[in-house]
A and B are shown apart, each in its own frame.
Chain A
Amino acid sequence: MSSKTDWTWFHRLGSPRWFYETTGRWLPWLGLLTLLLLGTGLVWGLGFAPQDAKQGNSFRIIYIHVPASFLALAGYYLMAIAGAVGLIWRMKLSFMVMKAAAPIGAVLTFLALFTGAVWGKPTWGTYWVWDARVTSMLILLFLYLGVLALQYAFHSQEAGNKASAILALVGTVNIPIIYKSVDWWYTLHQPATIKFTSAPSMHPDMFQPLLVMILGFYCFYAVALFLHTRAEILRRERKSSWVRELAIKEAGL
């Protein structure tokens, strides 16, 4: 008589091979969905949505800027959670996911900053402005770069993973503190408030393509994450038999 919970599903989840084979099945569909959502959203947003009364057509940058910002922040939490799971349950796969999430999140944060800067020029006349949102995004980029740098600074893969996980967790506690501090700092120093079109007050014709783009970016993130993790799995598990068989099959030996 067993009174213990059946944890096999959890341990199976931790198997790199299982992850590789399952994501291999999902990827074609996810990829298709991503292309569909992003394609539709972009065409809709760039060509069909009405332009903003004050900002003209450059407001269309929102269709990339906002989803990128969302995913940049969400991606950091995902990375930190993956790190925590890896530390607590010593799950190799979780560390691999954490390692994969870092460059993706860093690129998305950079895109958020870049599109924000390009958007700022025609709107406020300057590429850079130290407002709360931009400053917080910049700090997020530094947090990502720190995790990336730490990951590769150690000789031992395991030490690098654990150090990055600790740093990511410390960063997670800090993110709300940083965002609140910067927000407070900005309202303290801000003479005139410049608001760009915020989501709730947006006309539905402008908001709907944004929703599509956000969903599309989520799917894109999943695809990128799976691809990066799969590559990492192959690198790390190259001594195992299933990888060797796969390599033989691919090479046609």
Chain B
Amino acid sequence: MKMQFDNFQQLWDMAGHGPFVWTSVLVSLVMMIWLIVRPLADRKAALQDVARDIARTAQAKENLKGDS
């Protein structure tokens, strides 16, 4: 099994088929990475949401205690 291309220029060019192959690869990578990054961001946002809510209720309790 040997390397099919002699240098990076040839790998990029792929004997003229380069644009097709690399477009497919890059679009696929971008979308697949998005499928990973998006839920990670959602997770963080969900936890931050909950934390903010907890902080707010704690603050409200404090205020209530301060008033009475």
Contacts and interface: CB of A to CB of B under 8 A. Distances in A.
A140 interface: no
Interface residues of A, number: 46
A251 B51 contact: yes
A234 B46 contact: yes
B21 A60 contact: yes
Given A231-B43, A235-B46, A253 B25 contact: no
B60 interface: no
Contact of A107 (B23, B35, B40): B35
Contact of A231 (B5, B11, B21, B42): B42
A155 B20 CA distance: 43
Interface residues of B, number: 37
Interface in B15-30: 15-18, 20-21, 23-25, 27-28
Contacts of B54: 244, 247-248, 253
Given A57-B15, A61-B20, A115-B28, A224 B36 contact: yes
A64 interface: yes
Interface string B20-63: 11011101100110111001101110111111011100000000
B2 interface: yes
Given A47-B5, A111-B27, A247 B50 contact: yes
B24 A247 contact: no
**Chain A CB within 10 Å — which of B3, B14, B21, B23 has the most?**
B21
B64 interface: no
Interface string A45-78: 0111111000011101100110010000000000
A220 interface: yes
B9 interface: no
Interface in A159-207: 205
10 tightest CB-CB pairs across the interface, nearest first? A247-B50, A251-B51, A227-B39, A231-B42, A57-B14, A57-B17, A58-B17, A234-B46, A247-B51, A231-B39
Interface of A: 42, 46-51, 56-58, 60-61, 64-65, 68, 100, 103-104, 107, 110-111, 114-115, 118-119, 121-122, 205, 220, 223-224, 227-228, 230-231, 234-235, 238, 243-244, 246-248, 250-251, 253
Interface of B: 1-5, 11, 14-18, 20-21, 23-25, 27-28, 31-32, 34-36, 39-40, 42-44, 46-51, 53-55
10 contacts: A56-B17, A57-B21, A100-B39, A107-B35, A111-B32, A122-B20, A227-B36, A227-B43, A230-B43, A247-B49
